[in-house]
């Protein structure tokens, strides 16, 4: 079941720093941690300002904000596993013919939290954990 704004607010420890203005009816808008210029035909990854700590009874999904999709930005996102803790590295591609500026603090994507009917047996950290505790720098 997708978590509502009030459910996310009750579990706001999942998001650090938490800014109530970034809370949406069914998710939370994450922001970029530094100014970025995305040139035409360029692929790059941006890192979120927020650190997420996904509990064992929750998974999350990332969605690009439509304001960037309308500018020709394409993104490849997936699920955020139960037990993940760290910042998010978001892969972006500029399919347009002009530079897209993304300012520090701008919201780039919405994270939708999905409540599981029970806790996972083994969390992300226990299964693979390749990006566990990722911070500002990109880990490839």
Q: What range defines the domain where residue 60 resides?
A: 5-120
Encode pLDDT of 35-94 as tens digits. 999 999 999 999 999 999 999 999 999 999 999 999 999 998 889 999 999 999 999 999
- Residue 128 is assigned to a structural domain of this protein: no
CA angle 19, 24, 29 (to 5 degrees): 60
Encode pLDDT of 85-110 as tens digits. 999 999 999 999 999 999 999 999 99
State yes or no: pLDDT of 139 exceeds 50.
Answer: no
Residues 6+ apart with CB under 8 A from 59: 79, 80, 81, 82, 113, 114, 116
**pTM over the 0.75 mark:** yes
- Residue 132 is assigned to a structural domain of this protein: no
- Residue 126 is assigned to a structural domain of this protein: no
Looking at the structure of the chain, the number of domains it has is: 1
């Amino acid at each position: 079941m997708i978590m509502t704004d009030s459910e996310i607010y009750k579990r706001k420890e999942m998001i650090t720093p938490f800014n109530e203005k970034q809370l949406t009816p069914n998710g939370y808008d994450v922001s970029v941690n530094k100014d970025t210029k995305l040139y035409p035909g360029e692929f790059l990854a941006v890192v979120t300002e927020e650190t997420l700590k996904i509990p064992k009874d929750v998974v999350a999904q990332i969605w690009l904000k439509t304001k960037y999709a309308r500018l020709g930005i394409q993104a490849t996102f997936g699920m955020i596993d139960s037990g993940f803790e760290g910042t998010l590295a978001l892969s972006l591609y500029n399919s347009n013919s002009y530079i897209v500026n993304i300012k520090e603090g701008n919201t780039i994507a919405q994270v939708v939290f999905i409540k599981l009917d029970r806790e996972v047996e083994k969390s992300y950290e226990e299964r693979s954990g390749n990006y566990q505790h990722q911070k500002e720098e990109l880990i490839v």
